[in-house]
């Protein structure tokens, strides 16, 4: 069971669920009644963890050399079983999302295809991060579409675009961990952190979906996003040559702020349910930390 949880990366589940919660509350201005939001959360988790499983399956030969303790190379999970599980989860996600709405199913279907493309082939220096950004932005979009019932215009996509930009910058940063020192210096890890912090500061722009409903919540969202961004900027300042360890640490710092980003989105446009939604999202921190001890994310 522990090997399966590690293969699924269960400790990362709170961020995937948070995307849908934030998008739904921001799009609707409230928490919709009925079972649809819960079906969408389940669908999102299915696609997310299916992509994680296929990623490990695709990397199984390399992992035998450098990470032999992972579930597949260690033999605890057979490769064929892992591949079957990954494909089934990816396919099941959009099907489950149909129980929420057709637009949500279409959004998660696109996310599943992008995850499949990344896992099996497209991992280039630019296309790889772009696909990861599309996946996380699409995950948030699914929640926004549920909240707005697919009736809003282009502004509904703004939070997802900013979220995708944040993930793109962090993904580009993460690639520098294994780069040569000269390549790492030219790529400027600090610049990637600066771009991510800029996108994070703009997360409360989701408030344009429900303008002027609550200045208190808008200021709370701005303070939350600003505090998260300041941490990233401080991490980028005053460093000499970046080592691989520095990049790993900074990437982890930025990834932990995914929950800050989605909490700020929920707060800025989430109506009366915003406080509860943002609080539930931020509780993902201790939950993820507890799960890491049982199901390490790497």
| pLDDT tens per residue across span 67-122 | 888 888 888 889 899 999 999 999 999 999 999 999 999 999 999 999 999 999 88
Residues of the chain with confidence (pLDDT) below 70: 150-155, 211-213, 238-240, 297-298
Domain of 158? 2-294
10 Å Cβ neighbour count for 69? 10
**Helix, strand, coil % over all residues of the chain, rounded to 5:** 80, 0, 20
- Domains of the chain: total: 1
Exposed, middle or buried: residue 166 (CB in 10 Å: 0-12, 13-18, 19+)?
A: buried
**What pTM, to 2 d.p., does this model score?**
0.91
CB atoms within 10 A of CB 86: 25
CATH code: domain of residue 125? 1.10.600
Instruction: Enumerate residues 6+ apart whose C-beta is below 8 A from 110.
Output: 134, 138
- What pLDDT score was predicted for residue 150? 64
CA 129 to chain centre: 12
Look up residue 220 and give its two tokens.
């709370």
pLDDT of residue 211: 65
Q: What is the mean pLDDT of the chain?
A: 88
Question: In the block, which residue shows the tokens 């600066």?
Answer: 194
Distance CA 41, CA 63 (A): 30
DSSP for residue 241:
S
């Amino acid at each position: 069971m522990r090997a399966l949880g590690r293969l699924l990366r269960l400790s990362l589940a709170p961020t995937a669920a948070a995307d849908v919660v934030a998008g739904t509350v921001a799009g609707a201005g409230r928490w919709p009644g009925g079972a649809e939001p819960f079906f969408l959360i389940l669908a999102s988790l299915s696609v997310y963890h299916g992509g994680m499983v296929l990623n490990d399956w695709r990397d199984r030969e390399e992992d035998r050399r450098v990470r032999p303790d992972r579930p597949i190379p260690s033999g605890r999970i057979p490769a064929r079983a892992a591949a079957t599980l990954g494909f089934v989860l990816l396919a099941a996600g959009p099907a489950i999302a149909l129980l929420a709405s057709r637009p949500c199913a279409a959004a998660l279907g696109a996310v599943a295809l992008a995850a499949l493309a990344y896992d099996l082939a497209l991992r280039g220096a630019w296309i790889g991060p772009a696909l990861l950004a599309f996946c996380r932005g699409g995950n948030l979009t699914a929640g926004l579409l549920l909240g707005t019932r697919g009736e809003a215009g282009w502004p509904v996509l703004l939070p997802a675009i900013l979220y995708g930009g944040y993930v793109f910058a962090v993904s580009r940063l993460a690639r520098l961990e294994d780069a040569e020192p000269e390549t790492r210096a030219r790529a400027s890890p600090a610049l990637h952190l600066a771009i991510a912090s800029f996108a994070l500061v703009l997360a409360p722009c989701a408030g344009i979906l429900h303008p002027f409903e609550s200045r208190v919540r808008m200021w709370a969202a701005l303070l939350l996003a600003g505090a998260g961004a300041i941490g990233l900027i401080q991490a980028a300042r005053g460093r000499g040559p970046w080592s691989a360890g520095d990049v790993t640490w900074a990437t982890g710092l930025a990834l932990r702020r995914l929950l800050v980003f989605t909490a700020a989105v929920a707060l800025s446009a989430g109506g009366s349910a915003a406080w509860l939604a943002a609080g539930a999202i931020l509780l993902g921190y201790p939950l993820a930390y507890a799960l890491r001890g049982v199901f390490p994310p790497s």
